């Protein structure tokens, strides 16, 4: 039995779908029963669990030989870092009590750094805590997800300006589609290599790195509207993030992460990581996102 925690998200749903297509039993774990219909439709066993409660997680992973672990950043929480650390501790406690053969954790580029990287330090904490679990461990570190641009795309479509915290605008950075992360996660869960003492670290990004200028040009091409990239002055970052719906502490985590990105600290840990590359291009991902983005922006879709 494969257990997918966070199965309602883009990555988890793709992992569950790939495993089911391969004929495997999957228990899809969601936090709300309302999220379960698409997963039931592909033949998943369903479980509802509170990732903040170790007993709830323990019930969800009971009988699993492999678990895919996702700890989402609690965006709505006043202190998302503290909330995510608690979630990690609850999940790890359940895994430590009844360790499955294999645990795959969805992590982040830069997770090797213990500090100075904002949100990414929470993935360092996740990896560190999981090392206390007596299972074969795989850390799947992904680059920045392409759909993160959805936060600012509605405003970009309305005003023709794409704000970027990536400085300078022509600096290349890695990115990846969530569906490619989910597909690779399923592949790694199915990989029957002999157990190893150290965790297996695998990185994934798209085949081409992009710049903020590329992102604006791609959005313009997909939407059929003129879009120009704008380098947001650092003094304005907090205001931009607040307008995107992030609270004060969450915004600070993003700001610290962007500072680390712009300083070149967030990248593949090349000497320990197996490198993989997703097939989805930025244009393909933006085209798939466009219907919901145009609806949020209250502008008609281009036909």
What pLDDT does residue 231 have? 97
157 in Cβ contact with 297 (< 8 Å): yes
CA–CA gap between residue 202 and residue 165 (Å, rounded): 27
Give the length of the chain: 303
For the stretch 101-149, pLDDT in tens is: 999 999 999 999 999 999 999 999 999 999 999 999 999 999 999 999 9
Nearest to 4 by CA among 99, 69, 92, 87: 69
Annotate 81-96 with b (16+ C-beta within 10 A) or e (fewer). bebbbbbbbbbbbbbe
- Of all helices (H) and strands (E), which one includes residue 105? strand 102-108
What pLDDT does residue 75 have? 81
CA–CA gap between residue 281 and residue 175 (Å, rounded): 10
What pLDDT does residue 134 have? 95
What pLDDT does residue 32 have? 87
Query: Residue 279 class from Cβ within 10 Å (0-12 exposed, 13-18 middle, 19+ buried)?
Result: exposed
Q: Which pair of tokens denotes residue 278?
A: 């997703």
Q: Which domains does the chain have, with CATH numbers?
A: 2-146+175-206 (3.40.50.720)
Nearest to 47 by CA among 38, 59, 55: 59
Residues of the chain with pLDDT under 70: 194, 296-303
What pLDDT does residue 303 have? 42
Q: What is the pTM of this model?
A: 0.94
């Amino acid at each position: 039995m494969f257990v997918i925690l966070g199965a309602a998200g883009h990555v988890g749903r793709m992992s569950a779908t790939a495993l089911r297509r391969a004929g495997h039993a999957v228990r899809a774990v969601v936090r709300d029963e309302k999220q379960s219909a698409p997963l039931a439709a592909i033949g998943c066993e369903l479980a509802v669990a509170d990732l903040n409660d170790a007993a709830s997680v323990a019930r969800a992973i009971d009988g699993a030989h492999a678990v895919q672990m996702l700890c989402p950043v609690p965006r709505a929480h006043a202190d998302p870092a503290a909330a995510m650390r608690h979630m990690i501790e609850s999940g790890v406690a359940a895994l430590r009590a009844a360790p499955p053969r294999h645990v795959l954790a969805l992590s982040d580029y830069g997770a090797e750094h213990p500090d100075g990287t904002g949100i990414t330090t929470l993935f360092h904490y996740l990896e560190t805590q999981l090392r206390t679990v007596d299972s074969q461990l795989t850390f799947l570190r992904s680059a920045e997800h392409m759909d993160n641009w959805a936060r600012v795309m509605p405003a970009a479509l309305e005003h023709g300006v794409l704000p970027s915290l990536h400085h300078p605008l022509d600096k290349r950075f890695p990115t990846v589609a969530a569906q490619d992360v989910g597909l690779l996660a399923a592949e790694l869960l199915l990989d029957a290599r002999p157990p190893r003492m150290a965790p297996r670290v695998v990185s994934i990004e798209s085949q081409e790195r992009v710049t903020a200028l590329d992102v604006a040009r791609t959005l313009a091409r997909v939407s059929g509207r003129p879009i120009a990239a704008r380098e947001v002055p650092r003094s304005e970052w907090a205001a931009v993030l607040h307008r995107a719906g992030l609270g004060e502490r969450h915004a600070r985590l993003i700001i610290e992460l962007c500072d680390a990105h712009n300083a070149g600290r967030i990248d593949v840990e090349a000497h320990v990581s197996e490198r993989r590359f997703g097939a989805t291009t930025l244009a393909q991902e933006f085209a798939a996102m466009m219907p919901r983005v145009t609806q949020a922006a209250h502008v008609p879709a281009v036909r």
